[in-house]
Chain A
Amino acid sequence: MSTPAWQAEAERQRLLVEGILAPRADASSLPTRESGARALRGLQAYRVNAGASADRALAAAFPTVQQLIGAEDFEHLAQDFWRADPPTRGDLAQWGGGFAAWLGAHEQLRDWPYLTDCARLDWALHCCERSADHELNAASVARLGDTDPSQLGVVFAPGVAVVESRWPIAAIHRAHHDSGASFDEVRAAVDAQRGESAIVHRRGWKAVFTEVDAATAAWTRHLLEGCDLATAIAQAGDGFDFTAWLTRALASNWLKEIRVFAD
């Protein structure tokens, strides 16, 4: 239904949301009963709520980035991101998928080029922790012994992701979350521009990552993208040890099942 009265309500609501998202508080154009300073205080209450929600949601999803930037600056960035790319869903845990790229394009953050990839790792962990619970279809692993690899694919556990970086994202993460991890090591790795890759997965309820070499990351990414086993093996080259990878994948709960494409 879309009557003029309905459209007028829609416009009223649009104006209030615009007022909340605007860079500066200005209640003068809102059709409120309150006016002047009282209207501004009312609008400001919603703007403060929005800012607090932005900070709380992004701090929960990007704890490493928050520590790297510092809580106060992170809060400002969260509020800027809220205005630039506001949520479209009513579950704030869903909001933040564009934050890493937004950080990467931020002029004032150019001196910290690893922030974007740290954010990608944070986001992958955040999503993994909320992903569906699963059990390995153990019987499906037997297909590896009786089926042409070109007909096989790997179905990963929900939430499993590969994050590849030309920065030491694993070391940076450990330094900010694991007691005893060395910041000196991180500084040296950043100075050397040591690239690191991680596979994100669940250990029980908790999302964790396993640091892997570049070949393992690329192999896993190919499979995640739906590549069949024969093609993935050919791309990986002779040096890649599939058996070792499979053992690790099964032990670390990366897999859901081995799928026969013809099924």
Chain B
Amino acid sequence: MSDSPRSASPPSRGTDEGSLRAGIGLRQPPRAGIGLRQPPRAGIGLRHPHYAEVIEGKPPLGFVEVHSENFFADGGAALAVLHDARERYDVSLHGVGLGLGSAAGLDPWHLDRLASLVDRIAPVRVSDHACFSRAPRGKSAGAVHANDLLPIAFTPASLDILCANVSQVQDRLKRPLLVENLSAYLSFADDSIPEPQFFAELARRTGCAMLLDVNNLVVNALNIGEPDPVAACAAFIDALPDGIAQEIHLAGYSGSREAGDIVIDDHGSLVKPDVWRVYEHAVARFGAVPTLIEWDTDIPALDVLLGEAERANAVMRGKA
């Protein structure tokens, strides 16, 4: 069962306060006579080691999510696997390369490839990050692509850039985008807009929604030395507009403040207890939202991922 419409309407572009929540897909209450909607089931990131097991075993998942860029090739085995997956599951396309906050603008090639993939796969959601990736090298050189999720500033100009790029993507794809909050290892001295407000304004101006990465919230809270990281993350969530979060990501991180190092969002371990606590708060705040277990390094047996997904399901059912 789809957990959101397969073909979405073009994004609305609110331009006044009255349209604050118009474009972010607020869930309608269930209509009388058609029964209560089942809460969404959690999904997992579909990664190469699990291709065959997922396709052949079809474990009960709400959706699978893939990194869009891994399927930009014109053909080949990976694309065939994705088509197989699409026959069995809703697929969410999660990008890591648009560089939505890039002042250098979007790469037209990248947007073309993404649009082609969206046409082929008919994903249930399309997302990318509030980051930059492209920048000129040297004063006159063309843009290089850092192939990383680099931090943007939380300034009015940065918001303008992000809004312009998000709108360009949405206009091309003819559907709303979900934009994910980042884990950042550097921030900027002149940041002037609180991050929740930054996302609220982004959603208001472009009609996009938010992919709320709970692990990223916790990683950032730890790295800036919040005395109570869980409370800080809960306050962040409380400051977001109703309904803005249309998907949630959960993952593991490595490192700790006690070790005197920075915490790294490496997606390489079980979801940490503090992340589960913030997730419970997010579900209490936004209701059950399609939730993904992300695991990208040291990928474990599929059963481990399914166990994490089941735990997220339990939270969404209110039985954690």
Binding site for B on A (CB under 8 A): 1, 3, 5-10, 12-14, 16-18, 20-21, 27, 30-34, 38-39, 41-43, 45-46, 49-50, 53, 57, 86-95, 129-134, 158, 205-206
Contact = CB atoms under 8 A, between A and B. Distances in A.
Interface string B247-271: 0000000000000011010000000
Contacts of B61: none
A104 to B, nearest CB: 23
A32 B189 contact: yes
B188 A33 contact: yes
Contacts of B261: 41
A9 B146 contact: no
A70 B165 CA distance: 42
Given A45-B262, A50-B147, A13 B74 contact: no
Interface in B102-121: 102-104, 107, 109-110, 113
B135 interface: yes
A241 to B, nearest CB: 32
Given A9-B103, A45-B264, A17 B189 contact: no
15 contacts: A1-B164, A9-B153, A13-B103, A17-B146, A17-B150, A33-B191, A39-B186, A50-B146, A86-B145, A88-B145, A90-B69, A90-B147, A91-B72, A129-B76, A129-B77
A90 B99 contact: yes
Interface stretch (B12-20, B155-163, B170-178, B275-283): B155-163
A41 B262 contact: yes
Q: Which of B70, B142, B144 lies at the interface centre, i.e. has the most chain A CB atoms within 10 A of its CB?
A: B144
B76 A131 contact: yes
A10 B103 contact: yes
Given A14-B136, A50-B146, A31 B185 contact: no
B135 A14 contact: yes
Nearest to A49: B148
A90 B133 contact: yes
B97 interface: yes
Contact of A9 (B96, B143, B161): B161
Contacts of B190: 31
Contacts of B73: 93, 130-131
Interface in B5-26: none
A131 B74 contact: yes
A13 B155 CA distance: 13
Given A45-B262, A91-B113, A205-B80, A32 B188 contact: yes
B187 interface: yes
A108 to B, nearest CB: 24
Given A31-B188, A41-B261, A133 B76 contact: yes
Interface string B183-207: 0011111110000000000000000
Contacts of A6: 103, 157, 160-161
A26 to B, nearest CB: 13
